[in-house]
Amino acid sequence: MRYLRLMTFNVQLLPVVPIVAPSPGDEAESRASAIMEAFKKLPLDELPDVVTFNECFNEDARKVVINGMSGLYPNHIAKFDDTFVGGDSGLAVYSKYPFFPLDADGKKFLFFSYPDAEDDDALAGKGVAVIRLETPLGMLTLAFTHTQAFYHSEDEYRGTRAKQLADVGKTIAQVNGNFPALPWAKTILMGDLNIIGNHPPDPAANPKLEWDSTFENPGQIMADAFWDGWRHFNRPPGSAIEQDPGFTNNNLEAGENGQLPRGLLSRLDYICFSKLPADQVFVAQHLRTRFRTLSDHWSLEADIHLTSPHCSPSTAFDAALAPVAISHLKLAQLEITRPGAYQWVFVAKPGTYTIFKPTGLEITLYAADNLSTPWNPYGQIDAATMGIDNLEKDVRRFDSLEPTGDQYSMPGPFFIRIRAGSKNPDVQGTCFLGIYEHTGQTPDTAIVIQPWAMPLDAGLPAGQPNGVHDECWFRAEIGRAYSGTEHNSRFIIQNNTGNDAKVKLFRSGFSVISGFSNADPETVVEYSTSGPDTVFIRLNRSTLSDTSFRVSWQSGLTWLRSVPNVRPMVLRCADETGPDWLGADEITLTLYADDHRPEFFSTYWDDADSNEILKLEGQVPEIAFVNYIDVSVNESDFIQSPDDWSRVGALAPTDGLIKAIVQSFDVQSGTYQFECSLSRTQQG
């Protein structure tokens, strides 16, 4: 019995406004085609079971959606009309499961049109739809909506949204009976609520934050009946607040002097779950965002199951409570009580780890501040070759762990998700997870150091040896620039013991780069390579009482990235006032790294207008460079001039770990901005 996967997605398929040029609906049909292609590219086991759309207003785009989605979903309702002529809620639903009749006449849905609407929302027919689906997990009552938007400030029209949410409760009650009737336990509400959800709760705020007023004010249906799924389930155990803000809206509007306005990124989309304390209540095993470049919203999806121990991040097993074996391997004993249920383990301590997964199951690691992007291992190793006494014996003790472990370097708290694979989706019963934290006893248990991070304490135990040879190994994964340009790394070893320490640095293959023995407070070793390369550092102390050692690494690489809450990667048409302003600006964007040819990215923008953007997140690869990125913009209807390019320089030693970049330059038809983030590290 697999879990259910639900998705809500505001697809921004707006109607064409004839008197406005450019019209917000001009791109609706092409956007719909791109969204359909994204769905079709998903593996079958990654397709949501049920998808609801917001802002599916445009009639031509709607046809594209119907044509694309009906091949994947046999059941759909493509339009929910309002009571006035031409009115449209923008809602749509596509389902793998048939719609369960709501009455003896076979009615498939209940739709209520909101009587209250303000500003441009008065031109739409917004409302709430309720359906029922008979699923393997039982009867699901699903309500989906799009509430009143705000246009100038986040509190604007909050009273109207409150009235609409009260109407949501009344509409659900027509299907379920009044709350707390038992069907509410398997009721889910989702959609774009237009309530900022990424602000931490503030009981002292006056007036109350809208999220607080909505979800924590008893006597209202949202507070009485529903959890905000993201905040309730996607947070560390014992924490009242999530570390991942769960952004779903990316409006990318320019602020004053090119600064980002408040609210550039926000959590407006919700999947809400019942608060009824029932054994058969639906819970979110995992919420995440997936499609991030297709609309001004990101898709939000949830893997749904019935409640069971440790099945969500907020109820994760705390790895600190796991018993420790002789080898210092932590063994977390878990119980999958329902077929298809997840198990989660939370590790609060950053560090370098080898994770041994349960036999026949799959594991995925997520940083606690990003539950949508899996963290990649840097290697794999067999327990028998790690050089740790009793480790292989401990791994094989219960004959339920894979003997080969995945190795990860985690810069902050993280989660481990355990679930059955596609070959045995209904597995149940006891399973074990092995967690081994590296202490640098051997090269295979070296502690990974991150570029430009704070100096890392070796953590040597006082009065006892660190492994058989009392040595501490560190490891640096040096990347390769896209251009292959050689770059320099500086390794800094700090010794505050006053006694001699022996240090050797090795390149891949363990040939020696450098070695020294001294009591200097700080020693710097430089190493140039084109990469990729792995540098090992071996530290030997004079006495067992010497513990004050720190190691750091300054890399010569800068990574070009799109970091949503710093600066998403876009090309912005800031001002189309040049000689071609009356026509379509046909732009080709080309990116080069360190004078390397050919380019690493090129794309065509067929109609750039003032204040429009070309979203690049997910399209431009994350690449490393040494000196600069050249950004070229060429207009096909002009002869290229030397002024249509800009250069983004690498991070300087005085820069931080991450930096927002806004690079403006003029072309024949106006001014453009290339916006991105630069980082010392690659996404893990």
Tens-place pLDDT, residues 53-93: 999 999 999 999 999 999 999 999 999 976 554 568 999 99
pLDDT for residue 579 is more than 90: no
- The contacts of residue 509 (CB under 8 Å, 6+ apart) are none
Q: What is the pLDDT of residues 408-446, one digit of tens each?
A: 999 999 999 999 977 777 888 999 999 999 999 999 999
User: If you count them, how many residues does the chain have?
Assistant: 684
- The contacts of residue 39 (CB under 8 Å, 6+ apart) are 47, 51, 68, 69, 72
Q: How many angstroms separate the CA atoms of 355 and 336, rounded?
A: 19
The per-residue pLDDT for 61 is 96
| Confidence at 395, pLDDT banded by 50, 70, 90 | very high
Q: Which of 240-244, 320-324, 335-339, 611-615 has the lowest mean pLDDT?
A: 611-615
Beta sheet of 127-135, edge-to-edge order:
110-113, 127-135, 138-146, 187-192, 269-274, 226-228
Of the candidates 363, 361, 434, the residue with the CA atom closest to the CA atom of residue 397: 434
The average pLDDT across 450-456 equals: 95
447-556 has CATH 3.90.650.10 classification:
no
Q: What is the pLDDT of residues 24-56, one digit of tens each?
A: 677 899 999 999 999 999 999 899 999 999 999
Question: Sign of the C-alpha dihedral, residues 64, 65, 70, 75?
Answer: negative
Q: How many angstroms separate the CA atoms of 489 and 425, rounded?
A: 46
Q: How many angstroms separate the CA atoms of 278 and 186, rounded?
A: 10
Structure tokens at 360: 């026949």
Of the candidates 421, 539, 430, the residue with the CA atom closest to the CA atom of residue 491: 539
Q: How many angstroms separate the CA atoms of 21 and 138, rounded?
A: 49
CATH of domain 313-437: 2.60.120
The per-residue pLDDT for 549 is 97
Integer CA distances (angstroms), 558 to 526, 622, 653, in order: 17, 10, 11
The per-residue pLDDT for 583 is 52
Q: What is the 3-state secondary structure (H, E, C) of 73-136?
A: CCEEECCCECCCCCCECCCEEEECCCECCCCCCCCCCEEEECCCCCHHHHHCCCEEEEEEEEEC
Q: How many angstroms separate the CA atoms of 324 and 44, rounded?
A: 40
DSSP 455-483: PEE--PPTTS-STTTTEEEEEEEE---TT
| Confidence at 384, pLDDT banded by 50, 70, 90 | very high
Where helices occur in 412-515 by DSSP H, the ranges are: none
Number of H helices, E strands in the chain: 7, 43
Percentage of residues of the chain with pLDDT beyond 70? 93
CATH 3.60.10.10 residue ranges for the chain: 4-13+37-56+70-306
Percentage of residues of the chain with pLDDT beyond 90? 76
DSSP at 276: -
Q: What is the pLDDT of residues 150-207, one digit of tens each?
A: 988 888 999 999 999 999 999 999 999 999 999 999 999 999 999 999 989 998 988 9
> Among the CATH numbers 2.30.30, 3.40.50, 1.10.10, 2.60.40, which is that of 559-679?
2.60.40
The per-residue pLDDT for 670 is 76
Q: How many angstroms separate the CA atoms of 563 and 581, rounded?
A: 31
- The contacts of residue 296 (CB under 8 Å, 6+ apart) are 10, 12, 249, 250, 251, 252
Question: What kind of fold does domain 4-13+37-56+70-306 have according to CATH?
Answer: Deoxyribonuclease I; Chain A (3.60.10)
The average pLDDT across 642-663 equals: 88
Q: How many angstroms separate the CA atoms of 474 and 586, rounded?
A: 51
Question: For residue 105, what are the β-bridge partners?
Answer: none
pLDDT for residue 260 is more than 50: no
The per-residue pLDDT for 365 is 98
Instruction: Produce one character per residue of 436-465: b if its CB has 16 or more CB atoms within 10 Å, e if not.
Output: bbbbbbbbbbbbbbbbbeeebebebeeeee
Q: What is the pLDDT of residues 220-246, one digit of tens each?
A: 999 999 999 999 999 999 999 999 999
The per-residue pLDDT for 655 is 95
Q: Is the pTM of this model over 0.75?
A: yes
Average pLDDT over the chain, rounded to whole? 91
Where helices occur in 201-343 by DSSP H, the ranges are: 210-215, 221-225, 229-233
CATH 2.60.40 residue ranges for the chain: 559-679
Q: How many angstroms separate the CA atoms of 366 and 375, rounded?
A: 5
